[in-house]
Every structure is written in C-alpha cells, then in structure tokens.
Chain A
Amino acid sequence: MMTLNDQYQKLNQELRRGVLVLAVLSQLRARKYGYSLIEELTEGGLEIDQGTLYPLLRRLEDQGLLHSEWDVSGSRPRRYYELTGDGERALEDLEADWHALVQVVRGLLEKTELEE
C-alpha cells in the first residue's frame, strides 16, 4: 500500500525527470566531469545524486547529445562531458519549450487561484 507521502515522492520524481535533462544539458556548454557537474547543480539549488546523474549522462551520450572523453592529465582520471552540435540544438529547443511551458502552467495555476 502506497502512503500519501510515497505517492507525492513519485509525482515529484516524475516532474523532476524531464527538468533534470534540461538542467544537465544547460551546464555542459563547456566540458565538465561528473562530480563538478553535481557541485555546480547543487550550488544552483538543484540536488541530484550520482545514481541519477551518471546513467543520465550515458543515455544522453548514447543519444548523440553529449560527447565524452577521458582526461588523465589531472590528479586522477576524469571523464569529461560536453554538448555535441545536436546537443546544442536540442538545448536551444528545450529551452524555448521550457519558457513556454512555465508561462502556460503559471497562467493555469494563477487562473485557478483567482477562481478560488
């Protein structure tokens, strides 16, 4: 039996899932490795755990939106990710979609608040 809190967690997770892709892509215009990306997102206020981020990076790479390479020049080897040409175009489109969506949903939420 799912408690109300579990239900909420699930809804929240679903809501975040799509946003995470946009957030990750937005930070990869310049190349970054996984941990630095986590730090950057956390600094920006978006918590993401490694168990979510690394598989997501792999998936985006498989889809051709990201490109990755090992850099062994530092203190320890790190895998750096960066947007590909396709990734940049996808980010632009998603960004426009995001702004449109936020406006629409805000309109809807405000409308119902007024009715109440």
Chain B
Amino acid sequence: MELIERYLYQVGKRLPSKKRVDIVLELRSSLEDQLDARSEGEPSEAQAAELLTEMGSPESVAASYYPEGQYLIGPTLYPLFRMVGGIVLAAVIGGQLIAVAAGAIFSQESINVLETLARILLSVPTAIGWVAIIFAILQRAGVRPGPEDEPFDPRQLPAISGEKPVSRGEQIFKIGLGVALLTVLIVYYGQGAAAGGYISIPAINPYLPWFSLVLLVGILIDIVILWHGEWRTSTRIAELVSNLFGLLLLGLMIQALTSLLNAAGVAGFADGMALIQAGDLASMQLGGMVLLRFVLIVAFTLTAVDTVVQVVRLVQERLQNDQMDRTSLPTPR
C-alpha cells in the first residue's frame, strides 16, 4: 500500500539512524496486520488513510521513540554547560582585557579602542560556540554527569545572604546606558583621533581608552549581576575596584580640564554658559569644556556616592555573616 510506504518514509526520516530500519519494519508489519483486520480482502486507500489518521502524524510517532525528548544539550548536562560557559566567557574576556592593559602599560603604541572592543565582542560568540559544540558532542555520545559523590546534607546548605534580589529592569537599563555611553565615547574618540577635529580635546584624550575600559568592565559586572540576580561579595569588590579606577580617571580628566580652563581665564560655570552663547568657535569650544567638566564632576560625585554605598554594604554583609556564624540556630529542648 503506497500510502503506508509514504507514511513510514516520513517516520523513518525522523528516527535515530541506528534503529530506523528495525522500527520501520515493525511498524509496517503492525500497520498491515491492522489493515487486514479491518478489511475483507484487499484494503482500500480510504481504510489506510483512516488507520494512519488514528496513528497520528509521522512527527509525533517518531517523537514517541525519544522518551526524553531531543536536545542539543539536555537538561542533565545543561547546568554544567552553563557553568563551563560562564567560566570560559569570563576567561576569554578577562584574558583579553589583561592583555590589552599589559600592552598599554608596556608598549608605546596607543590602543585602538574600537578595534580592541570589537575583537573582544567577536570572541564571545566564538567561545560560547565552542563550548556548545563540545557539549553537543558529549550529549550525543551519551555522556551524563554522574550522581553526586557526597550524600546530600541539608546542614551544609549555604546561609541566605539577606540580599534583596536586584531588579532586572533596572539592571538592563544600566547595561543599556553603559553601552550607549561607551558607543558615544568610541565614536568621539575615533573621530577626534582621525580628524584631530574640533571636538577633540588633547588634554583628556590619553585618559579616554582607560575610561572606555572602566565602562566596559562596569557593563560586564552589571551583566554578571543580572545573571546572578543579586549582589554578591565578588561583584561588590569588582564594582569597588572598577569605581575606584573610574574615580581616578575622572579626577585626572577634571584636573586637566580645570588647568586648561584656568589658563584660558575661564573661572566658573556661569562664564562657560556665557561663552557658549558667544557664537565664535573658540569661545564655544571653551564653553563646551566647561559643560564637559560639569558633567564629569556630576559623574565623579555619583560614582563616589556609589562607592561609599558599596563599602557600607560590603561591611554590613561581612558583619551579618559573622553574626549568622556565631548565633547558630537555637536547639529545641
């Protein structure tokens, strides 16, 4: 019966190759048995169609031979995949950042920030891709993580950190803002370096690659926090270090701008605003610098506040943990 052959071909296509021939043979024999049982003599196509309709689509029949479902990376391997992926990603990005930093310190050549960032970004899918390929091979080969060696002991469960989970929306907003700022900075730096153009301020240019780096690290920390869903000691310390470095750079840039403006005889913010409205290019440039200095001072203040908050939280957490360690749960009498 041609209809049954067409049906079996579609089922067979979706079966594991090792068992395909065997399963198709069995299904054919069973379908023919049933057709015989339903018809006197030669079965009609309508009867075959009815039988196959009852049997269900080839997709669903083939799928029933995969009781655990079909996965590139299955649920038992997935937690391990996520962990390894995270470590590889951190290593790839961290390694490149360290290499860039070392290059910047030890070589005289200036860093091409855009190129470096692009390279780091492009390495992310490659790294994840390789991990996924390796895990897909493990999945196909039937490798599964073994049962835990140590028996589960509820008393070994880690203490609750007492942290509120971070808001995802807020965190995504922060990441978006960081990316936007970084993009602006890269475009600005690229243009300024290429044209020596009118928006370039040579006094602060040397700090900009470093500042981009701080922004990038900040974005990465925010991504990790988003992933964890809460602040942890590690992310707090990372944020602190990144903040301190950012404060240093902001301070240096503010200082550079201030001495530049002092030399030009511009005293305060009001002076600057007047200059912007003056109309000629040189005055507008000076006015722009005043505005930029103002923005940097605001950024400096916000970062400083955030740093203090982070230190306080970090100390609080340490104290809480100590307390939890000392006052163990009261024993029932």
Residue ranges of A at the interface with B (Cβ–Cβ < 8 Å):
33-35, 49-52, 54-55, 58-59, 70, 76-79
> What residue of chain A has the Cβ atom nearest to residue B66's Cβ?
A55
Q: Kindly provide the distance from the CB of A54 to the nearest chain B CB, expressed in whole angstroms.
A: 7
Say yes or no: is B65 at the interface (Cβ < 8 Å to chain A): yes
Within 8 A of A (CB), among B25-60: 25-27, 29-30, 32-34, 54-56, 60
A35 touches B30 (CB 8 A): yes
B55: A residues at CB distance < 8 A: 49-51
B29 touches A58 (CB 8 A): no
Q: Kindly provide the distance from the CB of A32 to the nearest chain B CB, expressed in whole angstroms.
A: 12
How long is the Cα–Cα vector from A71 to B34 in the complex, in angstroms?
Answer: 18
How long is the Cα–Cα vector from A33 to B56 in the complex, in angstroms?
Answer: 21
- Going nearest first, the 9 A-B pairs with the smallest beta carbon separation are A35-B33, A55-B64, A35-B30, A79-B26, A34-B30, A55-B65, A51-B64, A76-B29, A78-B29
How long is the Cα–Cα vector from A79 to B26 in the complex, in angstroms?
Answer: 6
Say yes or no: is B114 at the interface (Cβ < 8 Å to chain A): no
Say yes or no: is B23 at the interface (Cβ < 8 Å to chain A): yes
How long is the Cα–Cα vector from A48 to B104 in the complex, in angstroms?
Answer: 72
A54: B residues at CB distance < 8 A: 23, 26-27, 30, 64-65
With A51-B55, A55-B65, A59-B67 already in contact, the answer to whether A77 and B23 are too (CB < 8 A) is: no
Q: List 28 A-B contacts (CB under 8 A).
A: A33-B30, A34-B29, A35-B30, A35-B34, A49-B54, A49-B55, A50-B27, A50-B30, A50-B55, A51-B55, A51-B56, A51-B60, A51-B61, A51-B64, A52-B64, A54-B23, A54-B26, A54-B27, A54-B30, A54-B64, A55-B64, A55-B67, A58-B19, A58-B23, A58-B65, A59-B67, A76-B32, A79-B26
With A55-B64, A58-B65 already in contact, the answer to whether A77 and B29 are too (CB < 8 A) is: yes
Interface size of B by CB at 8 A reads: 19
Q: Kindly provide the distance from the CB of B67 to the nearest chain A CB, expressed in whole angstroms.
A: 6
Within 8 A of A (CB), among B144-165: none
How long is the Cα–Cα vector from A21 to B30 in the complex, in angstroms?
Answer: 20
B29 touches A79 (CB 8 A): yes
How long is the Cα–Cα vector from A29 to B15 in the complex, in angstroms?
Answer: 29
B25: A residues at CB distance < 8 A: 70, 77, 79
A76: B residues at CB distance < 8 A: 29, 32-33
How long is the Cα–Cα vector from A58 to B32 in the complex, in angstroms?
Answer: 20
With A35-B34, A51-B64, A77-B29 given, name 9 new contacts (CB 8 A): A49-B54, A50-B55, A51-B60, A54-B23, A54-B26, A55-B65, A59-B67, A70-B25, A77-B25
B33: A residues at CB distance < 8 A: 35, 76
B34: A residues at CB distance < 8 A: 35
> What residue of chain A has the Cβ atom nearest to residue B27's Cβ?
A54
How long is the Cα–Cα vector from A72 to B283 in the complex, in angstroms?
Answer: 99
How long is the Cα–Cα vector from A34 to B22 in the complex, in angstroms?
Answer: 13
Within 8 A of A (CB), among B60-110: 60-61, 64-65, 67
Q: Kindly provide the distance from the CB of A77 to the nearest chain B CB, expressed in whole angstroms.
A: 6
> What residue of chain B has the Cβ atom nearest to residue A37's Cβ?
B30
B19: A residues at CB distance < 8 A: 58
A79: B residues at CB distance < 8 A: 22, 25-26, 29
> What residue of chain B has the Cβ atom nearest to residue A58's Cβ?
B65
> What residue of chain A has the Cβ atom nearest to residue B54's Cβ?
A49
Q: Kindly provide the distance from the CB of B142 to the nearest chain A CB, expressed in whole angstroms.
A: 12
> What residue of chain B has the Cβ atom nearest to residue A53's Cβ?
B30
B29: A residues at CB distance < 8 A: 33-35, 76-79
B67: A residues at CB distance < 8 A: 55, 59
B30: A residues at CB distance < 8 A: 33-35, 50, 54
How long is the Cα–Cα vector from A34 to B55 in the complex, in angstroms?
Answer: 14
A34: B residues at CB distance < 8 A: 26, 29-30
How long is the Cα–Cα vector from A76 to B4 in the complex, in angstroms?
Answer: 15
> What residue of chain B has the Cβ atom nearest to residue A74's Cβ?
B29
Q: Kindly provide the distance from the CB of B172 to the nearest chain A CB, expressed in whole angstroms.
A: 29
> What residue of chain A has the Cβ atom nearest to residue B31's Cβ?
A50
Most buried by A among B19, B26, B33, B61: B26
